[in-house]
Structure 1
Amino acid sequence: MSKQNPFDQKKNAILEGINSLEPDLSPKGSIDHLCLPIMDLINSHKDMVTTSSCSGRISVFVEGTKSVSDDETKTGGKGLGGRWLYVSHEQDKVLNWIDTLREDEIEFESVEDTGDEFDNSIRYILYKYEPFILHVKCRDIKSASKLFNVAMSCGFRESGIGSNNTVAIRINIKLDVPVGLLDEKNKDRLIFFVSKRYISILDKLTVSKFIENKKKMDELYNKIDKEIISVPLEDESTKNQEVKETKEERRERKRKEGLERQRKLQSQE
């Protein structure tokens, strides 16, 4: 029996992980069910395999901090002591997220009320919407270029081809604003220097970005299916083959499988 080449070995290992019920290494612990249809589509191609994904999410995050020198500190990400206040990949869980925080740990005040507290050591509360992103490892530069060109033609202008023929599919539908700060001198209270009304406006903007993001994902799915996956089916030798599933049926099946996988993972916690 012939030995598999490195790409096929890597692809088989990745697909085993995708199909496993074990939690993955992402903060969420599992694949977003909205990503499953396009992942399944791409993974059906012999020259491509998805390596990481995110369907899009809202996140509210307190920056971490570290000492740079005796008299200087630097704020940064989770690895520096930051923490999530709220994260969701679901559009219907965006509005009123702030009500999930404990009332005794939050406070609203205007920017003027904070006086001269602002400096480089302030740990800000960041409100973010991050759109769909997908990484796909390809067998060669030819298949990577084909996928990259399709993504670019759908408006995924932040996409690129990295090392080992890995295509990063990205789009600029982002939102990233500071909405408060951490009061480390007062039991780490969360001080919001914007109003609840302003946060409500951000929430509605985020919902609109979720909707736009989903439309672009559907557009990308359809174009990959048409220009990459279904191209061989146009050959005379395959015209008479039985069609097993329509695109819509395949997408709905993978969505249900993703929900069932998440349900099983939650039942194990």
Structure 2
Amino acid sequence: MDRSAEFRRWKAQCLSRADLSRKGSVDEDAVEIVQLLNAQEQFFTTSSCAGRILLLDGIVALRKANGDAILKFEPFVLHVQCRQLRDAQILHAVAINSGFRNSGITVGKRGKTILAVRSTHGLEVPLSHNGKLMVTEEYVDFLLNIANQKMEENKKRIERFYSCLQHALKRETITNSQTEIKDPFDTHKKKRNQEKSHYKRITEDCDKELENDDADDPGINVTIFPEDY
């Protein structure tokens, strides 16, 4: 089976499966991105989360906690399987330049190419230890405000990602059309230069929207507990 046919089979299998998440559907803030990607021949999404804040219901609940309570904000995350490495590189450029700077590409032994869209502005702070509250109510309120600010910034980055993705897909369509009609004697070096220019245009389109990105980020990123907490 050729690589393209195998990718189509993987995509059909993945998209036909039932949604096994607790919610049972794609998060509202991520649904447009998921639908846009799944409508393309070269992509399909394998998992997504628009972001969430994990809270305990007030100080009373914290005082009754027997273990180690935390307040945690988890930003947008998206996993996309790509038909080939070049497709993943285009999507990676979109992610990085939309503010998701912890994004990366992995290639498996069977040739599965996965792009993970991630950012670094998470929040994870301990509130109690062995049932003992370790912070004041004022500090909890402060953390909640920070978490809410991070969620708002998270939504802005999702919107930028969607906008940049639309631009990148349009540019890719135009580039592919030009490639089909260009001189067949063009060298490999020229093709590589065109690809570099294409990625640069994606970056420039998105960079204009990111000029104030660092100023908007509240700037608190605390990770205390391991990921399997």
1:177-210 per-position Cα deviation (integer Å, ceiling 9, x unaligned)? 1011243xxxxxxx32212221111111111111
1:125 corresponds in structure 2 to: 69
CA contact (8 A) 2:43 2:80 kept: yes
Aligned pairs (5 A) from 1:80-229: 86=56, 97-98=57-58, 103=60, 106-107=62-63, 123-163=67-107, 164-183=112-131, 191-229=132-170
Instruction: Say if 2:62 and 2:128, in contact at 8 Å, map to a contact too.
Output: no
Q: Which moved more, 1:26-35 or 1:207-216?
A: 26-35
Residue of structure 1 equivalent to 2:193: none
C-alpha displacement of 1:35: 1.0
Q: Deviations over 1:5-50 (max 9, x none)?
A: 1211111222223xxxx5x333444321211111011111100001
Distance 1:106-1:146 versus aligned 2 partners, 3 A rule: closer
> Which residue of the partner structure matches residue 186 of structure 2?
none
Which ranges in structure 1 are unaligned for 5 or more consecutive residues? 61-85, 87-96, 109-121, 184-190, 237-269
Change (3 A) 1:162 1:193: same
Q: Which structure 2 segments of 5+ residues have no match?
A: 179-229
- Residue 42 of structure 1 contacts residue 229 of structure 1 at CA under 8 Å; is this kept in 2? no
Q: CA RMSD in A?
A: 2.6
Instruction: Describe the SS at the equivalent of 2:127.
Output: strand
Mapped pair 1:15 → 2:15: yes
State the TM-score, normalizing by the size of structure 2.
0.66
Contact 1:55/1:131, CA 8 A, preserved across alignment = yes
Answer 1 or 2: which has greater helix percent.
2
Match status 1:55 vs 2:3: no
TM-score by length of 1: 0.57
Residue in 1 aligned with 2:6?
6
Residue 39 (structure 1) aligns with: 34
Structure 1 residues 212-221 or 152-161, which shifts more? 152-161
The SS at the match of 1:137 is strand
Contact in 2 for aligned 1:45/1:229 (Cα 8 Å): no
Equivalent in the alignment of 1:246: none
CA contact (8 A) 1:154 1:216 kept: yes
Higher radius of gyration, 1 or 2: 1
Determine the C-alpha separation between the residues in 2 that align with 1:220 and 1:131. Answer: 13
Q: Distance in 2 between matches of 1:125 and 1:209?
A: 20
More strand by share: 1
Question: Using the alignment, how far apart are the partners of 1:15 and 1:161 within structure 2?
Answer: 21
Report the identity percentage: 32
Check 1:208–1:106 CA distance in 2 against 1; reply closer, same or farther (3 A cut): closer
Aligned residue type for 1:142: R
Q: 8 Å contact 2:69–2:128 — kept in the other structure?
A: yes
Counterpart AA for 2:14: I
Structure 1 residue 229: deviation in Å? Answer: 4.7
Q: How does 1:190-269 map to 2 (within 5 A)?
A: 191-229=132-170, 231-232=172-173
In 1, Cα distance between equivalents of 2:168 and 2:113: 19
